[in-house]
Structures are given as structure tokens and as C-alpha cells.
């Protein structure tokens, strides 16, 4: 009896190099490349062994649906220190680092509420998160341009993505859950204390500016 075709197409199979190359280029998301993601799950042991040889670790979160490569943290092995760094470290400005931390805290609060799985914020929402921690400015337009620059940087880094605008709707952004892998729980536990210290310094700076006027 001939095999019947019920219209189901098998997922595309990828070889090892076809999985590793996209990971070397950046973050792999399940939602963006489901076939490639499934192949990664099947090949992950081989991927880990392969990238380990070139000084990298595979970070894979099946629950959140993302994977990326990062450099070995180091274990004192002399041979390891001789390997060139294949994943560059990026130096972030203080406002960008601060905004990433604020978004991570927002994501933790969002998860605790047990609501939707996607944290979506407007550009105005994001601006309000950070503006209270920035020095006062008499030029509102300039301040908003600076905040827009910080937001664009975070989008470029892959921690947020700009959503397709709807007619008459504000600009909206989705906070990518990969942020949880870069701002960990231990750092987050110290977050409020760090912000309190910074806010005190900021207020003292504002008072000093007023007295100098």
C-alpha cells in the first residue's frame, strides 16, 4: 500500500557547521529559526565539544528559547590563556548599563506577576525608567534624544527588539529574555542598594549645582 501524504513536511536537517556558524555570528532564537533550533537541540553535545576547542562555551536555555556562545571564564589553565578571544567584550556606557539593569529588574517583576510571557514596553515607558537617574536637563528634547540613543544601543545589542508599529500606536519594544543570562540574580539582589547609593550621589550633585547658580 502506497504511503499517504498528509501534508506534513519534515523539518530541515542541519549539519554541525550550519549550526555553529550562526551561533558565531550572534544569538540564536527558537522563535526566529525553529528548524535550526531543533537541529541545535539534537546536535548540542557535538556543538559544545566543537566550540570548547576554540575557547567558547555554549549557553542554551530551552525554556526561554535562546542560545549563544561566550568565552571560557577561565580556570587557570595556561593553554587556555593562549587562545585568542573570539567573542569580543563590549564596553558599555553607564546609562546603557543602568538601563539594562532597570529592564532586568522590570523583567523580574513582570515574571513574578505571572502574566504574559512577553514584556512589551513603549519608548515612553522605557524613558521613564531611566530619566529619574539621569542629571537634570533644561533641554527636554536633547534629553529624549540621549535616551533614544541608549535604547537604540540596547536594541543593537539584542536585548530588546523593536516591534512592527501599528497605525496610530506608540513605538513599542519587547524586552528579550536573554537579558536574564547577562544580568544574573546575584547582581539583581544588590541592585536596589546600588541604585540607592547612585541616587544619593545624584541628588547631592543637583543640590550643588543649584547652590552654584
Q: Residue ranges of the domains in the chain?
A: 16-81, 94-212
Interhelix angle 34-53/16-25, rounded to 10 degrees, is: 90
In angstroms, rounded to a whole number, what is the distance separating the alpha carbons of residues 25 and 51?
13
> Which residues does 9 contact at the CB level (< 8 Å), separation at least 6?
none
C-alpha cell read off for 188: 539583581
pLDDT at position 83 is: 42
Residue-wise pLDDT tens for the chain (213 aa)?
444 444 434 345 678 889 999 888 888 999 888 999 999 999 999 999 999 988 889 999 998 899 988 887 655 444 444 444 445 556 677 788 888 888 998 998 898 887 677 899 999 999 999 887 777 777 888 888 999 999 999 998 889 999 987 777 888 999 998 888 887 766 666 666 767 776 676 666 555 555 555
Enter the pTM of the model. 0.69
CA-CA distances (angstroms) from residue 192 to 70, 135, 177? 28, 19, 21
Helices (H), the chain: 16-25, 34-53, 78-81, 94-112, 123-131, 140-157, 179-182, 185-189, 191-212
Q: How many CB atoms lie within 10 A of CB 94?
A: 11
**Length, in residues, of the chain:** 213
* Cα Rg of the chain (Å, integer): 22
Candidates 1.10.357, 1.10.3470, 1.10.10, 2.60.40; correct CATH number of 94-212? Answer: 1.10.10
Torsion of CA 175, 181, 185, 189, to 10 degrees: -60
Amino acid at each position: 500500500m502506497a504511503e499517504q501524504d498528509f501534508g506534513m513536511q519534515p523539518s530541515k536537517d542541519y549539519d554541525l557547521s550550519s549550526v555553529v556558524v550562526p551561533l558565531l555570528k550572534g544569538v540564536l532564537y527558537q522563535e526566529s529559526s525553529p528548524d535550526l533550533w531543533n537541529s541545535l537541540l539534537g546536535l548540542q553535545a557535538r556543538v559544545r565539544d566543537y566550540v570548547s576547542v576554540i575557547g567558547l562555551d555554549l549557553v542554551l536555555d530551552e525554556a526561554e528559547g535562546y542560545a549563544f556562545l561566550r568565552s571560557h571564564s577561565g580556570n587557570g589553565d595556561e593553554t587556555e590563556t593562549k587562545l585568542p578571544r573570539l567573542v569580543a567584550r563590549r564596553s558599555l556606557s553607564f546609562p546603557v548599563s543602568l538601563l539594562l539593569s532597570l529592564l532586568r529588574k522590570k523583567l523580574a517583576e513582570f515574571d513574578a506577576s505571572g502574566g504574559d510571557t512577553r514584556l512589551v514596553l513603549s519608548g515612553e515607558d522605557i524613558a521613564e525608567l531611566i530619566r529619574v537617574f539621569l542629571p537634570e536637563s533644561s533641554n527636554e528634547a536633547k534629553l529624549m534624544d540621549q535616551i533614544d540613543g541608549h535604547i537604540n544601543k540596547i536594541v543593537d545589542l539584542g536585548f530588546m527588539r523593536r516591534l512592527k508599529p501599528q497605525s496610530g500606536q506608540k513605538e513599542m519594544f519587547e524586552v528579550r529574555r536573554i537579558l536574564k543570562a547577562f544580568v544574573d540574580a546575584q547582581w539583581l539582589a544588590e541592585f536596589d542598594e546600588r541604585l540607592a547609593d547612585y541616587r544619593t550621589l545624584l541628588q547631592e550633585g543637583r543640590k550643588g549645582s543649584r547652590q552654584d547658580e
